[in-house]
Structure 1
Amino acid sequence: MPFSRRRFLRHSALATTTLIAAPTVFRSGAFGAENPIIVGSLHDQSGPIAASGTPMVYALQLAVNEINAGGGLLGRPLKVIHYDTQSNIQMYSQFAQQLAVKDKVDVVHGGITSASREAVRPTFDRFKVLYFYNVLYEGGVCDRNTFCTGTTPAQTVEKLVPSAMKKAGKKAYIIAADYNYGQITAKWMTKYVKDNGGEVLSTDFFPLDVTNFGTTISKIQAAKPDLILSALVGGNHTAFYRQWTSAGMKGKIPIASTTFGLVNEPTTLDAAESDSILGSYGYFEELTTPASKSFVEKIKKAHPDSPYVSELAACTYEGVMLWAAGVNKAASIDRMKVIAALEDSVAFDGPSGKVSLDKATHHTTRNAFLAEVKDRKWSVLESYSDVKPADTASVCDLVKNPNDTKQYIINL
């Protein structure tokens, strides 16, 4: 990890918390004694997923600062109650209940892994607390109380796989994290490989704590694929790319990934280890639009040690702003009124471009981008406008079934 916990605490306005500590409370602006609107935040700022959670907290903080600087919502300030979930599912469960029951928040933005989302989502359903999950994931969540602002496979993997196959060939080898995201994303990868006339030679899954990929690299060498498709997750799995280069394989078999670069991989790895890896996301820090450049500059000015500003940060910022637009449109903080307002064509022009909420799925229609690592930075190759969450739309219709609360495994 490219930053220490001590340095992070020094530069961040949001200190982490522990099971026995009080939550971090953040509030900006001068409002006097007005009753605040309370925003809950559940993000990992320590543990293996911290490098993903830290920029998400920075982005949430930026959005709240901007809303409060503009007069708040409904004339009231926003106050954030934040818990560091420390990459621990037990803490997600505990803090979710605390936000709902003790802190009585009006909305929660949080969760990173799919496991963390599914640990907290039933709690927020039960206690009727509006929930935003601002992370790319495998798709299929269908819950009127939940809004998912990150990309799904139909928005990014569908672009990435055929582009990689066109560059490399038809035979793919899949490596992925061994939990919901990796398992289901591997199925989408397999679908898109087959849809484009290719075959998958093997699919290997790895727990998040795995750091030794020697045996796997030997298997890949023996299989002789044209292409590696990676859905590895977290700092431990970054070891694969180093070991792949050490084995003399870099440049021999191209790699395309749905997760590489979400944190600091292009800058923490040598150029020899990361160059030419393909990725597809709903946002890249390197986008040159005025909105993107301003977003990145604000975060890095406030937090000079900020890790890479990825889709995770952009979608968190956009998620808070979409929620705020819903509150303003509803002219109320009442949960059901806000949900109804969010379903009524709410959109926001953010760092990734225009983001609009889909009424039937509570997911976003948004831009997607294809990029390649060059000299430790992403070079954006293609842009795709207004891409719909077609995968989730195939199983979820909250207009017809407003009481649905499932995550569907999409039949491929």
Structure 2
Amino acid sequence: MDPNVPPSGASRRGFLKSSAAVLGGTLAAPLVARYAHAADTIKVGSLLDLSGALGSSGQGMYDTIRTAVAEVNSSGGLLGKQVELINYDTQTNIQLYSQYAQKLALQDKVAVVHGGITSASREAIRPAFDRFHTLYFYNVLYEGGVCDRNIFCTGTTPAQTVSKLVPYALNNTGKKAYIIAADYNYGQITAKWMAKYTRDNGGTVQAVDYFPLDVTDFGATISKIQSADPSVVFSALVGSNHTAFYRQWAAAGMLNKIPIASTTFGLVDEIHTLDASVSDGIVTAYGYYQEIDTPESQAFVKAVQAKFGSNIGYLSELPADNYEGFKLWAAGVKAAGSIDRMKVIEALESGISIDGPSGKVTIDHATHHVIRNAYLAKAKNKTWDVVKSFPDQKPDDTAAVCNLIKAPRTSKQYVIDVKA
């Protein structure tokens, strides 16, 4: 993902400067919306990277949760109260995630926390929210496997998207795949799913290469791929440094020779920040694209742009998930008639749905993940051409290891045994 780009517009000015930090061992004040000081509010926590390596990802997510909160407040709030949003800038720092998680739970006493971007950040704070009985929403696509009654995961999992991306690429290019991925749990596990779906669809995996997040020189790797001559390259590269691969791939004249299908490209606006000559033809599959032509998607884009300006950047699955995650929690509060954690959990487990920008999103009781649409798109002239949609996709990967109906006290992330 790209490094943080300083936000533009008066509405963002000073946010990063005033973001939470550890000063002299004391936690600094959080970012709080202007309605936060109302006498009687419902406090909602947010932990997002607004600076550091994942700052641009967090900023988009922060914009959309603020939009969702403003929409709820403008329509009367929840249970007759306004919602107070408290966000701490975790600065792509796991230690800060842990510190601020405890502060939100113990000092701010929030009703729910929406936060975390990487799986590492989620697993740093999930145990704290379990321990302090604070409801937690993780609104990011990830590798699957989290099974915990205190958390709801609203992003897509490999069974919902990778299972669509791989066969499409193989059927349209050929059956020989070369996999490149980030060298941490997301990349490693996603690469296994890529390999499984490749073999399931009659393909072969020529090689799997992993790269630490600080790698920027892919020259040797590109030479290896050229020698292997695969039909397609599957990419689960992550972060601003890894974006260099796509530039170097195009510079080597490979973009029009061997197609790329990716589970991460475009999540932080690479479609606009990179030239079309670098991105055209790359195929991805996500739970949301800004180009989806539905009234709900159009209203979402217009609402965020009206609040923060039309130059805020691309609204990918990450911002959409965060918006939908808050709206799902709000629906649970309304159904429960309370912000009590267990009452809200039980209300959400009843199968609550919302019509969000991505389409209908429904809580799956057994996994606390969501049943949602998936889409497949191809980069074309700095935009996404959505070529296929897959309604009501279930989180079957996580369902294979998690059943909170039968075992509600489960609290762990399973490493799913991916077998071809």
Report whether the alignment pairs 1:244 with 2:249.
yes
SS in 1 for 2:362: strand
- State the Cα distance separating 1:39 from its structure 2 match: 0.5
Q: 2:389 aligns with which of 369, 373, 383?
A: 383
The verdict on how the C-alpha distance between 1:84 and 1:225 changes in structure 2, with shifts beyond 3 A counting, is same
SS in 2 for 1:87: coil
Report whether the alignment pairs 1:279 with 2:280.
no
What corresponds to 1:341 in structure 2?
347
- State the Cα distance separating 1:301 from its structure 2 match: 2.2
Q: 2:238 aligns with which of 233, 236, 241?
A: 233
Between 129-138 and 200-209, report the one with greater CA deviation: 200-209
What corresponds to 1:11 in structure 2?
12
- Runs of 4+ in structure 1 over 6 Å off: none
Q: 1:94 aligns with which of 85, 90, 99?
A: 99
SS in 2 for 1:287: coil
Q: 1:301 aligns with which of 303, 306, 314?
A: 306
Contact 1:45–1:51 under 8 Å retained in 2? yes
- Could you report, residue by residue, the CA deviation over 1:203-238 in whole angstroms, capped at 9, with x for unpaired residues? 111122221111111111111111100011122111
Contact 2:7–2:13 under 8 Å retained in 1? no
Q: 1:162 aligns with which of 153, 156, 167?
A: 167
Report whether the alignment pairs 1:324 with 2:304.
no
Contact 1:12–1:303 under 8 Å retained in 2? no
Partner AA of 1:386 in structure 2: D
The verdict on how the C-alpha distance between 1:28 and 1:10 changes in structure 2, with shifts beyond 3 A counting, is closer
Separation of aligned partners in 1, 2:13 and 2:346: 35
Separation of aligned partners in 2, 1:95 and 1:2: 22
SS in 2 for 1:234: coil
Q: 1:365 aligns with which of 371, 376, 382?
A: 371
What corresponds to 2:69 in structure 1?
64
Q: 1:26 aligns with which of 10, 33, 41?
A: 33
Partner AA of 1:146 in structure 2: I
Identity of aligned residues (%): 61
Contact 2:378–2:384 under 8 Å retained in 1? yes
Unaligned runs of 5+ in 2: none
Contact 2:5–2:55 under 8 Å retained in 1? no
- State the Cα distance separating 1:395 from its structure 2 match: 0.5
Listed as ranges, the matches of 1:196-235 within 5 Å are: 196-235=201-240
- State the Cα distance separating 1:27 from its structure 2 match: 4.5
Report whether the alignment pairs 1:406 with 2:412.
yes
Contact 2:176–2:205 under 8 Å retained in 1? yes
Contact 2:3–2:54 under 8 Å retained in 1? no
Report whether the alignment pairs 1:124 with 2:121.
no
The verdict on how the C-alpha distance between 1:178 and 1:3 changes in structure 2, with shifts beyond 3 A counting, is closer
Contact 1:171–1:225 under 8 Å retained in 2? yes
- State the Cα distance separating 1:5 from its structure 2 match: 2.1
Partner AA of 1:338 in structure 2: V
Separation of aligned partners in 2, 1:109 and 1:27: 19
SS in 1 for 2:169: helix
Q: 1:315 aligns with which of 297, 321, 324?
A: 321
The verdict on how the C-alpha distance between 1:9 and 1:136 changes in structure 2, with shifts beyond 3 A counting, is farther
The verdict on how the C-alpha distance between 1:4 and 1:362 changes in structure 2, with shifts beyond 3 A counting, is closer
Contact 1:2–1:264 under 8 Å retained in 2? no
Contact 2:4–2:52 under 8 Å retained in 1? no
- Could you report, residue by residue, the CA deviation over 1:281-338 in whole angstroms, capped at 9, with x for unpaired residues? 0000111111101111111222223121011111111100000010111111110111
Separation of aligned partners in 2, 1:3 and 1:98: 25
Contact 1:28–1:65 under 8 Å retained in 2? no
Separation of aligned partners in 1, 2:301 and 2:175: 37
What corresponds to 2:181 in structure 1?
176
- State the Cα distance separating 1:14 from its structure 2 match: 5.0
- State the Cα distance separating 1:10 from its structure 2 match: 5.5
Contact 1:27–1:78 under 8 Å retained in 2? no
Between 202-211 and 316-325, report the one with greater CA deviation: 202-211
Contact 1:277–1:373 under 8 Å retained in 2? yes
- State the Cα distance separating 1:18 from its structure 2 match: 2.0
Separation of aligned partners in 1, 2:51 and 2:193: 30
Figure out how many residues of one structure are paired with residues of the other and give that number.
Answer: 410
Separation of aligned partners in 1, 2:316 and 2:43: 26
Contact 2:3–2:55 under 8 Å retained in 1? no
TM-score (structure 2 length as normaliser): 0.95
Separation of aligned partners in 1, 2:7 and 2:377: 33
